[in-house]
């Protein structure tokens, strides 16, 4: 039986520092969904190397694990590539790199997940986009196949990296339906709007803050909650102005259970991002029955469908107007719940795993 090896290095920081990036999170969800599939037509192995004394065994899955410690540095990765260390350790027929890029010895036996082409389409200073522009296409062009999470990302990968259509497969992400679902309870006692995955750059958080700043002049009941792990001082100072100080709350370091509660208890989730490869906050909020205000760019309409409310990312007045309509009852959360849940149910990690299996079979 042929062997597929999945590199899970992006998952391991969960067990060393307590949190993982979006790439790590989606990789973890994928391998856990694959673990629930029976009678796979290939052997599956998990590979790790970046974290000392922490391996794929921490996931507690049924697959074999191979862990060889090397620091997560370019020089170490190049050594691994040059001496075929990963190949000798795992003897794979197909290697899956789910984190955009890696130094691999045999790209002709490699499948890479490229989550988006943000580093070309919307370069963000938060990330080293010049490095990404330089090195990411090298594996994309040489590898056997590419997985991405939306039709929008597929188009961007084809355009910016000059990749043929048949080489790119779309496997949309899912959500944890045992965590993100309508709970119909509000323990906060006050209404609020929510924004998750905040940043100064493309996530466009300041537009939501400025829309709320205009809205708060009406002395509304609704407050604004931002899930923002590491807000810059400029944003903290802005939100700490006298007219906003007791109306905007910033929280961080929350797990999925708490995040689900925040979605459920919010009147609406704002996610007016300027560019996304997928947009998990849209999906998770809708799965909880909470309407989403987002934009018609990149992948966002694919996820939001007809259930979301759409604005231009720079239209502060439109965002404020939606806040006013929810405040005044012209828009009601309950009117959106079934539509949101039905849209979210089009996506699941099981479907993602099934589609990924088909991609593996195609390239084995």
Q: Which pLDDT does position 52 carry in this prediction?
A: 87
Percent of the chain residues topping a pLDDT of 90: 84
DSSP state of 57: G
Give residue for tokens 């691994």: 80
Q: Classify the phi-psi angles of 124: left when phi > 0, otherwise alpha if psi is within -120 to 50, otherwise beta.
A: beta
| Mean local confidence (pLDDT), 146-164 | 97
Q: Which pLDDT does position 254 carry in this prediction?
A: 87
Cβ contact 312:295 at 8 Å: yes
Task: Specify the 3-state DSSP secondary structure of 6.
Answer: strand
Host H or E run for residue 352: helix 349-363
Beta bridge partners of 6: 46, 96
Domains of the chain: residue spans and CATH = 3-174+348-363 (3.40.50.2000), 192-344 (3.40.50.2000)
DSSP state of 287: H
Number of Cβ atoms within 10 Å of the Cβ of 215: 23
Beta bridge partners of 113: 147
Number of Cβ atoms within 10 Å of the Cβ of 333: 15
Best CA proximity match to 12, nearest among 60, 64, 61, 48: 48
Where is mean pLDDT largest: 74-78, 117-121, 146-150? 146-150
Rounded CA-CA distance 52/39 in Å is: 32
Give Cβ neighbours of residue 63 (< 8 Å, ≥ 6 apart). 31, 35, 44, 45, 46, 56
Q: Which pLDDT does position 33 carry in this prediction?
A: 97
More confident call, 81 vs 309: 309
Alpha helices in 199-336 (DSSP H): 205-215, 233-239, 256-265, 280-287, 300-304, 316-328
Q: Which pLDDT does position 36 carry in this prediction?
A: 95
Cβ contact 290:283 at 8 Å: no
Q: Which pLDDT does position 17 carry in this prediction?
A: 85
pLDDT at position 126 over 70:
no
Q: Which pLDDT does position 111 carry in this prediction?
A: 98
More confident call, 28 vs 79: 28
pLDDT at position 40 over 70:
yes
Q: Which pLDDT does position 5 carry in this prediction?
A: 98
Q: Classify the phi-psi angles of 265: left when phi > 0, otherwise alpha if psi is within -120 to 50, otherwise beta.
A: alpha
Q: Which pLDDT does position 62 carry in this prediction?
A: 93
Best CA proximity match to 268, nearest among 285, 252, 284, 250: 285
Q: Which pLDDT does position 188 carry in this prediction?
A: 61
Rounded CA-CA distance 119/124 in Å is: 7
Q: Which pLDDT does position 206 carry in this prediction?
A: 97
- What confidence category does residue 334 fall into, taking pLDDT thresholds of 50, 70 and 90? very high
Q: Over the range 59-79, which residues count as b (16 or more CB within 10 Å of their CB) and which as e?
A: bebebeebbeebeeeeebbee
More confident call, 94 vs 17: 94
Q: Which pLDDT does position 190 carry in this prediction?
A: 87
pTM score, whole prediction: 0.93
- What confidence category does residue 123 fall into, taking pLDDT thresholds of 50, 70 and 90? confident
- What confidence category does residue 127 fall into, taking pLDDT thresholds of 50, 70 and 90? low
Chain centre distance of CA 106: 28
Over residues 157-175, the pLDDT tens digits come to 999 999 999 999 999 999 9
**Structure tokens belonging to residue 70:** 């090397």
Over residues 184-197, the pLDDT tens digits come to 766 667 899 999 99
Q: What rounded mean pLDDT belongs to the chain?
A: 94
């Amino acid at each position: 039986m042929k062997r597929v090896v999945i590199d899970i290095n992006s998952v391991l920081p969960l067990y060393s520092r307590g949190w993982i990036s979006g790439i790590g999170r989606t990789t973890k969800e994928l391998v856990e969904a694959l673990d629930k599939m029976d009678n796979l037509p290939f052997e599956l192995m998990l590979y790790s190397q970046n974290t000392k004394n922490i391996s794929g065994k921490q996931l507690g899955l049924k697959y074999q694990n191979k862990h060889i410690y090397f620091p997560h540095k370019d020089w170490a990765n190049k050594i691994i590539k040059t001496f075929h260390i990963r190949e000798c350790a795992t003897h794979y027929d197909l290697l899956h790199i789910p984190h955009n890029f890696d130094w691999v010895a045999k790209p002709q036996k490699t499948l890479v997940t490229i989550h988006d082409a943000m580093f070309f389409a919307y370069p963000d200073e938060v990330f080293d986009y010049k490095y990404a522009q330089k090195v990411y296409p090298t594996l994309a062009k040489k590898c056997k196949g590419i997985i991405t999470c939306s039709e929008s990302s597929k188009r961007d990968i084809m355009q910016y990296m000059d990749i043929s259509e048949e080489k790119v497969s779309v496997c949309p992400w899912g959500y944890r339906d045992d965590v993100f679902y309508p709970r119909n309870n509000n323990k906060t006692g006050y209404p609020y709007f929510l924004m998750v995955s905040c940043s100064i750059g493309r996530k466009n958080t300041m537009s939501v803050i400025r829309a709320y700043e205009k809205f708060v002049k009406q002395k509304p009941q609704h407050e604004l909650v931002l899930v923002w792990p590491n807000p810059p001082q400029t944003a903290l100072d802005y939100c700490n102005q006298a007219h906003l100080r007791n109306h905007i709350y910033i929280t961080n370091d929350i797990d999925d259970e708490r995040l689900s509660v925040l979605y459920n208890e919010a009147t609406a989730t704002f996610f007016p991002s300027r560019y996304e490869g997928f947009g998990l906050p849209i999906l998770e909020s809708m799965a909880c029955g909470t309407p989403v205000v987002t934009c018609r760019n990149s992948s966002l309409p694919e996820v939001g469908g007809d259930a979301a409310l759409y604005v231009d990312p720079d239209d502060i007045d439109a965002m404020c107007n939606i806040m006013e309509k929810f405040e005044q009852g012209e828009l009601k959360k309950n009117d959106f719940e079934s539509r949101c849940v039905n849209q979210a149910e089009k996506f699941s990690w099981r479907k993602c795993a099934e589609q990924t299996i088909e991609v593996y079979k195609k390239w084995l």
